[in-house]
């Protein structure tokens, strides 16, 4: 949200988020925080930044959809960190009455919690076909993410954007 981190020719002094919204003019923003994005900092700082993103989205007429962070199964500390950040995400979604996409809960049911062997990224089906929604491919994190993103957008289109 810091001005100056975007192309000044295109964005002037706007933050990258404001610039993106002005240029793209989205109706919806799927706000996803990656597992490695939640690796540092405090929940207070994270919460403040997330509130700023949500408020900017609302102020610019964009529906923010907050997604929970996937599990971090590498060790107990990382798991606890993801759970703490997810509590903040849920709280912000409630505070602003914006949609919540609970990516964590579905990932938690997948083999290896839907996470690849690097313990950071979502798992990918053999052949990388994460947009082919077969029963076998839906056992992988990226495939579930892609399907759920489409389902969230479909629900918003039918119930809110009509």
Contact 85, 130 (CB under 8 A): no
- The H or E element containing residue 132 is none
Tell me whether residue 29 is in a domain. Answer: yes
Tell me whether residue 3 is in a domain. Answer: no
Tell me whether residue 1 is in a domain. Answer: no
Tell me whether residue 151 is in a domain. Answer: yes
Q: Is 6 helix (H, G, I), strand (E, B) or coil?
A: coil
Can you give the pLDDT at residue 8? 77
pLDDT digits (tens, 9 = 90+) for 77-90: 888 888 899 999 99
Tell me whether residue 115 is in a domain. Answer: yes
CATH number at residue 22: 3.40.50.1110
pLDDT digits (tens, 9 = 90+) for 120-157: 889 999 999 999 999 999 999 999 999 999 999 999 99
Angle (nearest 5°) at CA 114 between 109 and 86 = 75
The number of folded domains in the chain is 1
CA distance 103 to 120: 15
Tell me whether residue 125 is in a domain. Answer: yes
* CA 119 to mean position of chain CA atoms: 17
CA distance 161 to 38: 31
Tell me whether residue 12 is in a domain. Answer: yes
What does the DSSP assignment read for 65-111?
A: EEEPPPP-TT-HHHHHHHHHHHHHHHHHHHHHT--EE-HHHHHTTSG
Can you give the pLDDT at residue 4? 56
Tell me whether residue 140 is in a domain. Answer: yes
% of the chain exceeding 70 in pLDDT? 93
Can you give the pLDDT at residue 128? 94
Residue range(s) defining the domain that contains residue 47: 8-159
pLDDT digits (tens, 9 = 90+) for 3-34: 556 677 788 888 899 999 999 999 999 999 87
Number of neighbours of residue 96 by Cβ within 10 angstroms = 16
Selection from 107, 40, 96 nearest residue 69 by Cα: 107
Q: Please classify residue 40 by burial: count the beta carbons closer than 10 Å to its beta carbon, then call 0-12 exposed, 13-18 middle and 19+ buried.
A: exposed
């Amino acid at each position: 949200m810091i001005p100056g981190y975007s192309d000044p020719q295109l964005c002037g002094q706007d933050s990258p988020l404001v610039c993106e919204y002005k240029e793209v003019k989205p109706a919806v923003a799927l706000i996803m925080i990656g597992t490695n994005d939640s690796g540092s900092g405090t929940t207070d700082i994270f919460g403040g930044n997330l509130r700023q993103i949500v408020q900017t989205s609302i102020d610019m007429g964009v529906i923010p959809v907050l997604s929970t962070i996937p599990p971090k199964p590498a060790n107990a500390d990382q798991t606890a960190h993801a759970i703490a950040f997810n509590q903040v995400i849920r709280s912000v979604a409630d505070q602003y009455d914006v949609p919540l996409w609970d990516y964590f809960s579905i990932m938690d049911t997948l083999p290896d919690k839907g996470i690849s062997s690097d313990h950071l990224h979502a798992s990918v089906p053999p052949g990388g076909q994460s947009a082919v929604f077969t029963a076998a491919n839906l056992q992988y994190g990226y495939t579930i993410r892609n399907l759920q993103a489409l389902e969230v957008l479909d629900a918003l289109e039918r119930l809110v954007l009509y």
